[in-house]
Amino acid sequence: NSFTDTFIRAELISFVHDPGNGDTPKAGSLEHYGDGLLWLKGQHIHAVGHFAELSPSLPKGAEVLDYHDKLIMPGFIDTHVHYVQLDIMASYGRQLLDWLNDYTFPEECRFANHAHAEALSNAFLDEMLRAGTTTAQVFGSSHPGSVDAFFTACQKRQLRMLVGKVLMDRNAPEALMDGASGIADSERLIEDWHGKQRLGYSVTPRFAPTSTKIQMDAAGALLRNDPSLWLQTHLAENSGELDWVAELFPGSRDYLAVYEEAGLVGPRSTFAHGIHLDNGMRKRLADRGANIAFCPSSNLFLGSGLFDREAAKETGMAFTYASDIGAGTDLSGFGTLKAAYQVGQLGGQPLTAWQGFYGLTMGNAKALSLDSHIGQLAPTLEADFVVIDTQATSLLSRRISHCTTLGERLFALMMLADDRAIYETWAGGICQHRRDV
């Protein structure tokens, strides 16, 4: 056929299922080819396997890109991030509500300017690709133009991305509140962008304190009308926030109930943080198939609390891994896993590298219902992957040289690697980022 073939020889790692919590991955959960071949046709993966087994079937004269000293994994996925907060990362010393008022809201006001939104969309995508992240679920600002700019930038690069316009019609600066036009603008964006190429729309009420009941009900109606839409918001991040929600919604039995009553809790819903939940709420989220985005570097930065992975597992509540930039301190998936490990240690719940890298790739893809497109190195899936250089720094190189197992190597990467270890990032069958050597 007319699609271009690309052949890449490298070590390949990809998770098929959840590897479980053991020191070694459950049988059949991991595919690992020490000397593998990744065969692309156009934007998709055509074949994956041992180089020795696949090489006889290559077309005559095929040119093979030799990455034998590199490690290829599916592209990292970030289930919760604010592109409009890139420039306020590392703003000192506040917990959630003061941080929103002092830094976040003033910054988001700048996105009324379309040129600014375009510049930040591209800067953000450059940083994501530099970090090895090929798909994210993203908050824009409340200005619909911030989402047009972002979708346009993603479309040019042929990326698989979810984004939505923030809905907020109370308890915020005048310049950020959308009122009744918020829903109409969301509908227009859905019409223009949802399902176009690899783009999807995520309905985005910021969180319960900044939306009226009327606006949240209308957001729920959008989801009922089109079950292919996603939903993203925040839930139970900070104790001041919990008190405020209890005060604003005295008729609801708890914070989650506010979202349930509006019809916002479903299998395509992602709730960021979910730190301060009880098991009853976790089970309700599990029953609806929703997921919590665990944002460890953000939770440590804002002092929000320690996410309880064990309680999530016990109650069957799905959770994903996310950066939550600008409260997060690291765009890198490695950095997110390192912070998740540290949060886990403080709660007596250490994180294995198997769990971490499964989560960042296949686990996140599955929770977002994107696993038929991305998340694994497997035939028919989209060619979105990272080429990792385990010798990227002298320290990493030293440490890796002392590892004897794959588990040790992955763990060392999880704790010591950063964007310098991302040699290349491919998305849609195209090399979209190559590190400066």
Which of the residues 208 through 237 are near ligand GUN (CB under 6 A)?
234, 237
The correct pick among 96, 216, 256, 365 for binding ligand GUN (CB under 6 A) is 96
Q: Which among 387, 413, 364 is positioned nearest to 135, based on CA atoms?
A: 364
Instruction: Tell me the C-alpha distance between 236 and 219, whole Å.
Output: 20
Q: Which amino acid is at 348?
A: G
Kindly indicate which of the ranges 64-72, 96-104, 192-200, 245-253 contains the residues binding ligand GUN, using the contact rule CB under 6 A. 96-104
**Residue with smaller CB distance to ligand GUN, 237 or 418:** 237
327 binds ligand GUN, rule: CB under 6 A: yes
Instruction: Tell me the C-alpha distance between 215 and 337, whole Å.
Output: 35
The correct pick among 207, 259, 358, 385 for binding ligand GUN (CB under 6 A) is 207
Kindly indicate which of the ranges 59-67, 238-246, 266-274, 399-407 contains the residues binding Zn ion, using the contact rule CB under 5 A. 266-274
79 binds ligand GUN, rule: CB under 6 A: no
Q: Supply the minimum distance, in Å, between the C-beta of residue 327 and Zn ion.
A: 6
Q: Which among 365, 361, 368 is positioned nearest to 336, based on CA atoms?
A: 361
Q: Which among 264, 302, 260, 296 is positioned nearest to 281, based on CA atoms?
A: 260
Q: Which among 149, 138, 237, 219 is positioned nearest to 178, based on CA atoms?
A: 219
117 binds Zn ion, rule: CB under 5 A: no
DSSP-based three-state secondary structure for 4:
coil
Select the binding partner of residue 215 from ligand GUN, Zn ion, none (C-beta < 5 to 8 A, by kind). Answer: none
172 binds Zn ion, rule: CB under 5 A: no
Which of the residues 319 through 338 are near Zn ion (CB under 5 A)?
324
The answer to whether the CB of 376 falls within 8 A of the CB of 362 is yes
| Site size toward ligand GUN, by CB under 6 A | 11
Q: Supply the minimum distance, in Å, between the C-beta of residue 109 and ligand GUN.
A: 13
Select the binding partner of residue 70 from ligand GUN, Zn ion, none (C-beta < 5 to 8 A, by kind). Answer: none
Looking up tokens 């609806």, which residue turns up? 288
Residue ranges of the alpha helices (H) in 79-205?
Answer: 96-99, 105-109, 114-130, 144-157, 181-193
Element spanning 422, H or E: strand 422-427
Which of the residues 100 through 139 are near ligand GUN (CB under 6 A)?
100, 104
272 binds Zn ion, rule: CB under 5 A: yes
CA distances from 174 to 183, 356, 422 (A): 17, 41, 42
**Residue with smaller CB distance to ligand GUN, 204 or 390:** 204
**Residue with smaller CB distance to ligand GUN, 141 or 186:** 141
Q: 394 Cβ partners below 8 Å, 6+ apart?
A: none
Beta-ladder partners of 84: none
Residues that bind Zn ion (CB under 5 A): 272, 324
Residues that bind ligand GUN (CB under 6 A): 82, 96, 100, 104, 206-207, 234, 237, 298, 324, 327
